Chain A
């Protein structure tokens, strides 16, 4: 998924949240920052349940998938040294 698709999902969720809950969000930051996106997803799901608004839950799930894909792509682009899975701590408590 490219950046503009993710931005489109974020914009859709932004409009829905503004309309259904009155909350104003930062669309570009939602598409760029995984932590912020997670918080908005959590809020959208909570309100979807409270207000019986299934479309909020549906778009929250779309943004969640898009964010996860973006993270995976970013990880794949990292240099070799940073891509290690759960890197063991080096030189802590012993040199060998």
Chain B
């Protein structure tokens, strides 16, 4: 859930889960996108949201691209980067065409309407001094809100790449991701973030995407890993990462960009955004230290990859909680997530038996689940105006996990049936850089 407007509109929906005071505020709030006087907008909020949008895009380009490319073998580095760049472009066009409308316009509790397809109605009339706004963020231009949300759609799809690297054909992968973005991501974003969505109305708290982004991407990643099967030689040969320095640079960009992700999800340049930034940083630090300690105790040596993974785990877990918890709670959430994701990327991974190559489920899935549940534990009425409910959070996470897993498997089957997903043996042995792009890393 984002910003006070969500809470306001949840109250309007009449579920009675929010306090009367909040419901009373809802009286004059818009319930659908529309045009307002440009003077009614907040310049400060708009400026911050423009900045936050750029920060979140930076997380993917080049953050996720570097983070993942550093971990694959030398022969698959360019394919991994190309996948992230192509996904960013593809999801952008699809978001413009339909994704934004399906996710963020009011219609049913399951899916939005078609009113904003092709960004229809995202107008700015200079002469009349009128501008379109979303009912979710009526104090900033809707163009900014749609772009901010676009960067979330991009990174969610890009995160899935980590599960299927080194063995999937490029073009069918894009077809799968395109369908997934429209048929899995957009509906889930609607359920949780559009005030009429069924999980939003139920009172599920997801400030910046613990369930929508991370549990969703983790579940889809697990589905991909299961469906595609392991890479040839998996479990028998050592898959040396190309350059963990790339991974560190990517992780650092993720850490910085996450300020836009979480503090931007306040949708305003205000005290809540400031607190969201603080808790984000504290959780990242706690996650890095917890993973490092876990690794040092169990393996005797802390690794750079462990530190990078731990900080991401902390960031993932604080994502649903950022606008609802205090800095002390953030420390606990980050530390628990660091250890839980270390378990997720090692012991749980062995248990699941899937070649989730770069641990999308182990880090994002597990981190998202931990963060979402702990949001139910630690959410403070003083910070976010609402209190958490662990059962509601568990239901929300379970619904997202189940839908994403099942729908992803269906889409994978469809694309595989139509186009074939897996590269042939020769192409996999030669590496996807050569077999899919006729390029290779120099030097």
Q: Which residues of A contact B (CB under 8 A)?
A: 88-96
Task: Let me know if B234 and A93 touch, CB within 8 A.
Answer: yes
Q: 16 pairs across A/B with beta carbons < 8 Å?
A: A88-B299, A90-B238, A91-B238, A91-B241, A92-B235, A92-B237, A93-B235, A94-B345, A95-B71, A95-B358, A95-B359, A96-B303, A96-B305, A96-B306, A96-B345, A96-B359
B350 close to A (CB within 8 Å): yes
| B305 contacts A89, C-beta separation under 8 Å | no
A residues near B305, Cβ cutoff 8 Å: 95-96
On chain A, the residues within 8 Å of B234 by CB distance are: 93
Residues of A within 8 A of B236 (CB): 92
Q: Which residue of B lies closest to A91 (CB)?
A: B238
Give Cα A91 to B358, complex, Å: 11
Question: CB-nearest residue of chain B relative to A89?
Answer: B238
Task: Looking at the assembled complex, report how far the CB atom of B116 sits from the nearest CB atom of chain A, in whole angstroms.
Answer: 40
A95 touches B241 (CB 8 A): yes
Chain A's nearest CB lies how many Å from the CB of B315? 17
**Chain A interface, >50% SS class:** loop
Q: A92: which of B238, B303, B359, B362 is its contact (CB, 8 Å)?
A: B238
Give CA–CA (A88, B357) in the complex, Å: 19
- Please give, as numbers and ranges, the residues of chain B lying within 8 Å of A91 by CB-CB distance: 238-241
> B156 contacts the other chain (Cβ, under 8 Å)?
no
B contact residues around A90 at 8 Å (CB): 238
Answer yes or no: B349 CB below 8 A from chain A CBs.
yes
A96 to B299, CA, bound (A): 11
**Cβ-defined contact, A94 with B238, below 8 A:** no
* Chain A residues, Cβ within 8 Å of B350: 93-94
Complex Cα gap A93–B305 (Å) = 16
Which residues, 226 to 256 on B, are CB-close (under 8 Å) to A? 234-241
CB of B435 closer than 8 Å to a CB of A:
no
Q: For A93, what are the chain B residues with a Cβ–Cβ distance below 8 Å?
A: 234-235, 350
In this assembly, does B309 line the interface, its C-beta being within 8 Å of a C-beta of chain A?
yes
Is B346 in the interface zone, CB < 8 Å from A? yes
Q: Which residue of A lies closest to B234 (CB)?
A: A93
Minimum CB–CB distance from B365 to chain A (whole Å) comes to 14
CB distance from A11 to the nearest CB of B (A): 43
Most buried by B among A90, A94, A95, A96: A96
Instruction: Contact check, A94 vs B299: say whether CB atoms are below 8 A apart.
Output: no
- Minimum CB–CB distance for A28 against chain B, Å: 37
Q: Which residues of B contact A94 (CB under 8 A)?
A: 345-346, 349-350, 359
Residue of A nearest to B235 (CB): A93
CB distance from B68 to the nearest CB of A (A): 11
The interface residues of chain B lying within 8 Å CB-to-CB of A89 are: 238
By beta carbon, the residue of chain A nearest B236 is: A92
A90→B237 CA distance, assembly (Å): 9
How far does the Cβ of B251 sit from chain A's closest Cβ, in whole Å? 13
- Report the minimum CB–CB distance from B340 to chain A (whole Å): 13
> Nearest chain A CB to B308's CB is how many angstroms away?
10
Beyond A92-B237, A95-B305, 4 extra complex contacts between A and B, CB < 8 Å: A91-B239, A91-B240, A93-B235, A96-B342
Closest-CB distance, B199 to chain A (whole angstroms): 31
A7 to B241, CA, bound (A): 45
Residue of A nearest to B291 (CB): A96
**Chain B: which residue is nearest A88 at the CB level?**
B299
* A93–B236 CA distance with the chains assembled, in angstroms: 7
In the docked arrangement, what's the CA distance between A90 and B300, Å? 14
- Whether the pair B239, A95 counts as a contact (CB closer than 8 A) is yes
Least Cβ–Cβ distance between A82 and chain B, in angstroms? 16
Distance of A83 from chain B, by nearest CB (Å): 14
